[in-house]
Amino acid sequence: MKLFIDDANTEQIRRLYDLYPVDGVTTNPSILYKSGRDPKEVLSEIRSIIGNDPLFVQAVPLDAEGMIEDAVAITEAFGRETIVKIPSIPEGFKAMKKLKEMGITTCGTVVYTPMQAYLAAKAGASYVAPYVNRIDNMGYDGIAVTKEIHDILVRNDMDCIVLAASFKNSQQVKELCAYGVGSATAAPDVIDGFVRNAAIDQAVSDFCTDFAKIDGAEKTMKDYLK
Ligand code: E4P
């Protein structure tokens, strides 16, 4: 499963890129707003941090023509590795079909139902993004919906993978990772949560304490091996 950072905070992106094996960055208009920065400036900085890794940027208009214009502007500004998120609504499907012909990679976003994802994939989207936690908050099972979408894509041999999104905790991500969905995007705090565990910290600390007892000094392996 590919793992993306769902954030536009460049400090956090730098930190996570330094520490974790992440695959790229996803954004949406709300995330850009929360960054408090000019969209072009912040997205350019993200591009410079992540190199040629996938960067997801959402088209804002709600009509197909406007979505296509935004998509062209986005890929011209941030490169062809940039994936344009298009809302999975009727005008969005129209835009996805055209963008596929134009060679621009898209992600069908704002996915709440399996058949919405099916239509986006059929329209040429390379990713579909079900909103796990938001679906849970509606009283449905976001994990089950996402698994169903994954099954639809695989069993219909569609050239599209799940980009599971909207997570509140690592358990939600883990379930989908175990199921083998293609990719997931999570906020820095959720990604940090994968290894936030007192037992891990204790075990690591115990190893250091025991090693220091060998001759009472703060040595590491390299000190013994020189
Ligand atoms: C991804 O495509 C979505 O924009 C994002 O993950 C939504 O997350 P939220 O429900 O935490 O806002």
Q: Looking at residue 131, what DSSP letter applies?
A: B
CA 109–ligand 1 middle distance (angstroms): 9
Q: What's the pLDDT at 141?
A: 97
**Annotated catalytic residue 85:** yes
Tell me how far apart the alpha carbons of residues 125 and 122 are, in angstroms, rounded to a whole number. 7
CA 33–ligand 1 middle distance (angstroms): 13
Handedness of CA 214, 216, 219, 225 (dihedral sign): negative
At residue 98, the 3 state secondary structure works out as helix
For the stretch 197-210, pLDDT in tens is 999 999 999 999 99
Tell me how far apart the alpha carbons of residues 143 and 28 are, in angstroms, rounded to a whole number. 21
Enumerate residue ranges in the chain where pLDDT < 70.
Answer: none
Which amino acid, 106? T
Q: Would you say 54 and 44 are in contact if contact means Cβ atoms under 8 Å apart? A: no
Q: What's the pLDDT at 95?
A: 98
Tell me how far apart the alpha carbons of residues 110 and 85 are, in angstroms, rounded to a whole number. 9
Q: What's the pLDDT at 184?
A: 98
Ligand 1 pocket test, pick from 4, 146, 166 with the greatest ligand atom count within 8 Å of Cβ, gives 166
Q: What's the pLDDT at 6?
A: 98
Percent residues over pLDDT 90 in the chain: 98
Which residues are within 8 A (CB) of 172 and not within 5 positions of it... i.e. 6 or more apart?
Answer: 132, 133, 142, 143
Q: Would you say 189 and 12 are in contact if contact means Cβ atoms under 8 Å apart? A: no
Stated pTM of the model = 0.95
Tell me how far apart the alpha carbons of residues 33 and 157 are, in angstroms, rounded to a whole number. 37
Q: What's the pLDDT at 12?
A: 98
CA 212–ligand 1 middle distance (angstroms): 45
Q: Is 26 in the pocket of ligand 1 (CB under 6 A)?
A: yes
Q: Is 71 in the pocket of ligand 1 (CB under 6 A)?
A: no
